[in-house]
Amino acid sequence: MGKKKRHGAIALLEFETVAAGILASDAMVKRSPIALLRCGSVHPGRFLILVGGSVASTEEAYTAGLQVGEVHGALYSKVFLGDVHPSLHDAVLGARLDVKGDALAVVETHSSPPLLAAVDAAVKSTPVVLSEVRLGDDLGGHALALLSGDLFNVETALDICGERAGAQLLASTLLPRLDTDLRAVLEQGTRFGSCSAWEPSGAEYPEEIACSWDA
């Protein structure tokens, strides 16, 4: 297996219908030589298209997608990042990094493109670690990012995300001193289904459990 390529630019379009999204995907890949990084349906019945490549080719494909959205009136949200930060590029494609420093910020947006715009601005302006990015899947169409590091930097990154996301910001929280055991759980990911049971140090258990049916 060769090393995965890192694209200089990425674009993410979200359509209100699967039909329009598939049509836009076809138009985008036919318009310019870009990489179709990911596409598919997300809740609640929308369709995401993520493409990457050179700035020129990605922008051309992005334009083609916008045109489909205009014709069909189905474009829900969009973002074009002509100089995407490397850590965001990798995180969008599934890379995860350990939570670093004492503080953690959690950012949620109503849809996926605004999250990418907000996080890209934050990681370019502050030395925080982008530990995880999730787009649409198992989030009811929402998007999620975890940013970690020193408290001052994480606070700054959280402010930038809030300003950039604007009305698309669903929620944000700051944990200034992240619990050690919770850190270990979050480093496995934020999905409930894939979370393994974790028994923190000092957990208390009764020596015997009386069951009424044994009486």
Over residues 1-17, the pLDDT tens digits come to 445 678 999 999 999 99
Structure tokens at 192: 């409930």
Please say whether the beta carbons of 191 and 148 come within 8 A. Answer: no
47 beta partners: 15, 41
146 beta partners: 106, 132
- Mapped onto helix, strand or coil, the DSSP state of residue 81 is strand
Sheet holding 143-149, edge to edge: 129-135, 143-149, 103-109, 169-175
50 beta partners: 12, 38
Mean pLDDT within 94-113: 95
Question: With pLDDT > 70 as the criterion, what percentage of the chain qualifies?
Answer: 88
Please say whether the beta carbons of 100 and 144 come within 8 A. Answer: no
Q: How far apart are CA 66 and CA 24, in angstroms?
A: 8
DSSP class of residue 7?
Answer: -
172 beta partners: 107
Q: How far apart are CA 112 and CA 76, in angstroms?
A: 10
Domains of the chain plus CATH, in order, are 9-81 (3.30.70.1710), 86-186 (3.30.70.1710)
- Residue with more model confidence, 210 or 118: 118
Q: How far apart are CA 47 and CA 114, in angstroms?
A: 15
Over residues 34-84, the pLDDT tens digits come to 999 999 999 999 999 999 999 999 999 999 999 999 999 999 999 999 999
Tell which residue, 92, 127, 66, has the closest CA to residue 7.
Answer: 92
Please say whether the beta carbons of 28 and 124 come within 8 A. Answer: no
Q: What is the mean pLDDT of the chain?
A: 90
pLDDT over 90 (residue 31):
yes
